[in-house]
Amino acid sequence: MAEYSVFSLVRNALTGHKNWQRAWRDPEPKPSYDVVIVGGGGHGLATAFYLAKVHGIRNVAVLEKGWLGGGNTGRNTTIVRSNYMLDDNSHFYEKSLQLWEQLSHELNFNVMFSQRGVLNLAHSDGQMDRFARRGNSMRLNGVDAELLDRNQVKKMVPHLDFSEEARFPIYGGLLQPRGGTARHDAVAWGLARGADRLGVDIIQNCEVTGFKRSGNRIEAVETSRGTIGCGKIGFAVAGNTGYLASRLGLKLPIESHVLQAFVSEPLKPFFDHVVTFGAEHFYLSQSDKGGLVFGGDLDMYNSYAQRGNLPTIDHVMRAGLAMVPSISRLRLLRHWGGVMDMSMDGSPIIGKSPIDNLYLNCGWCYGGFKATPGSGWVFAHTIAEDAPHPLNAGLRLDRFERGHLIDEEATGAVPGKH
Amino acid sequence: MLYIDCPYCGSRGHEEFTYIGDATKKRPDSAEKSDSAWFDYVYLRDNPRGPHLELWHHSLGCREVVKVLRNTLTHEILGAGRPGDEIAMPDAETER
Ligand SMILES: Cc1cc2nc3c(=O)[nH]c(=O)nc-3n(C[C@H](O)[C@H](O)[C@H](O)COP(=O)(O)OP(=O)(O)OC[C@H]3O[C@@H](n4cnc5c(N)ncnc54)[C@H](O)[C@@H]3O)c2cc1C
Ligand SMILES: [Zn+2]
């Protein structure tokens, strides 16, 4: 398949854009593969891409029950950052951010990674102290962080509520300048094209419904397109992990919950950064098409429904108005929900499972989009080497049982964390 | 809005309630010494796609805890009662 370049763009423009080739093949499934990845979201595709590219394992299939990126990869609010405090998260997410910084070049596909800065607002002295601590931890781990006072925040984002009447006055904020957003569909498409070019079979409309086991191994997966044998198998199915695991009799420290997101009618550029409210759960950025993209909290009850409920919408809008009063007359264009794999300590699980040739990639909570390349990088390593990469050694499944939680919020075992 | 039939107050919108979670988890006896029993209780969840027994706190109502059977795929509420009540699961394996 042809390289994309300014020349291919000009050539195709001159021929009326009628001769673009398809970006990836649509193969029939083979009887078996060395590695089967279940889930064609960003994580599954990135895993296949790095398996082929870094580990030379090319007899790989990605099985997707719907269409590529139709899960959370295509439903999220696209924020990318690495502003974590605890070492296991910090080093992992920073690696992911570094991969983002070169992803468009690596894939020959513009994922529109925009490092516009992610700013977390603080509304009390206590919150400022906490941000100072988190910022210092980040800097000690080599991650960029700047603590801003009220005036610096005001200069940067003047449309926030700096008035006397503000319900939650802004004291300052923690900025990660290298954070930002990326175009979610482009990430799925670019990774799919990249993996396909290295020989990976991407098979859509192929739902995994069961497993053929022998001893403590999975020999094959039953799918809506027939039985497919597998040497090794990796799950990257986000909110559907619990369901697939139950088919294997595995119980996991995960609950599936619904998270909603929203986009407004398009506006001229007015919001240049990603800003998160510190008094409520709300965050906002402006897309390249001009729509304001924002989100809030989970609906807070277990759900596999991919749709949310009105009270949460009301709550998110109220928080939005408290942060940016000038959007009060804006109309909402669309809203949607995604099924989130909420782990019990708020951090992801990437590693081996109790079944010999099954590997798990799940527990992404609110924030797995930013992890896409990093997750693929370490998951491919884990599958290829049958051992974790140093960057996901701490993110293993048995950390809960061993008491080695990675709990950024330090609030104990609850499945609603960030 | 989900409407939950509180056994004390009648049908109320779910925004009056605070979700607690899985109602099938039983706290081990405090003398229980095995790590695995506590691990299971604190961290592991069945997380079913389909009927789910769960607890809701009627925090803006009678402040009692209510047990609810709800389908996590459709959000349909299949029954509600007091925490000690048995709520019958639908027979057909409604897509677990
Ligand atoms: C509203 C919302 C906002 C979010 N905002 C952000 C954000 O700003 N920043 C951030 O970093 N993260 C965010 N996230 C989280 C992020 O989107 C996810 O963690 C991430 O995209 C997960 O990627 P994935 O590839 O693991 O999952 P997905 O993209 O969900 O891919 C899993 C795929 O598996 C497929 N699948 C499931 N079951 C089967 C089966 N049985 N057989 C075959 N295929 C199957 C699904 O169809 C799906 O395509 C948000 C999520 C939501 C819902
Ligand atoms: Zn009541």
Whether B24 has its CB under 8 Å from any CB of chain A: the answer is no
Nearest C-alpha of chain A: how many angstroms from B58? 14
Interval A1-35: pLDDT, tens: 679 999 999 999 999 999 999 999 999 999 999 99
pLDDT for B96 = 46
pLDDT for A416 = 86
- Is the predicted pLDDT of residue B93 greater than 60, yes or no? no
Band (B5; pLDDT cuts 50, 70, 90): very high
Interstrand relation of A274-276 and A118-122 (parallel, antiparallel or unpaired): parallel
Cβ-based neighbours of A46, under 8 Å, separated by 6 or more: A191, A372, A373, A375, A376, A377, A379, A380
Spatial distance between the Cα atoms of A325 and A406, rounded to a whole number of angstroms: 36
Interval B42-91: pLDDT, tens: 999 999 999 999 999 999 999 999 999 999 999 999 999 999 999 998 87
Closest-CA residue in chain A for B95?
A243
| Chain B residues touching residue A260 (CB < 8 angstroms) | none
> What are the tokens at B21?
């979670």
Interval A172-206: pLDDT, tens: 999 999 999 999 999 999 999 999 999 999 999 99
Smallest CA separation from ligand 1 atom 35, residue: A39
Query: A292, A181 in Cβ contact below 8 A?
Result: no
Nearest C-alpha of chain A: how many angstroms from B78? 15
Q: Which of A151-160, A275-284, A327-336, A409-418 has the lowest mean pLDDT?
A: A409-418
- Is the predicted pLDDT of residue A237 greater than 50, yes or no? yes
Q: Which of A325, A338, A269 is nearest to A75 (CA)?
A: A338
Q: Give the pLDDT mean for B17-35.
A: 95
- Is the predicted pLDDT of residue A167 greater than 60, yes or no? yes
Interface test mutation site (partner B, options A65, A243, A314, A396, max chain B beta carbons within 10 A): A243
Query: B77, B6 in Cβ contact below 8 A?
Result: no
3-state SS class at A145: coil
Spatial distance between the Cα atoms of A82 and A90, rounded to a whole number of angstroms: 6
With 0-12 / 13-18 / 19 or more C-beta atoms within 10 angstroms meaning exposed / middle / buried, residue A228 is buried
Distance B3 CA to ligand 2 centre (A): 12
Give the whole-number percent of chain A exceeding pLDDT 70.
100
**Higher local confidence (pLDDT), B29 or B89:** B29
| Three-class secondary structure assignment of chain B | CCEEEECCCEEEEHHHCEEEEECCCCCCCCCCCCHHHHHHHHHCECCCCCEEEEEEECCCCCCCEEEEEEECCCCCEEEEECCCCCCCCCCCCCCC
Determine how many CB atoms are found less than 10 A away from the CB of residue A132. 15
Q: Give the pLDDT mean for A248-268.
A: 97
pLDDT for A417 = 85
3-state SS class at A293: strand
Spatial distance between the Cα atoms of A21 and B17, rounded to a whole number of angstroms: 54
Q: What one-letter code names the amino acid at A162?
A: F
Q: Which residue has tokens 């370049």? A: A5
Interval A85-135: pLDDT, tens: 999 999 999 999 999 999 999 999 999 999 999 999 999 999 999 999 999
Give the whole-number percent of chain A exceeding pLDDT 90.
98
Query: A52, A58 in Cβ contact below 8 A?
Result: yes
- Is the predicted pLDDT of residue A389 greater than 50, yes or no? yes
- Mean pLDDT of all residues belonging to chain A: 97
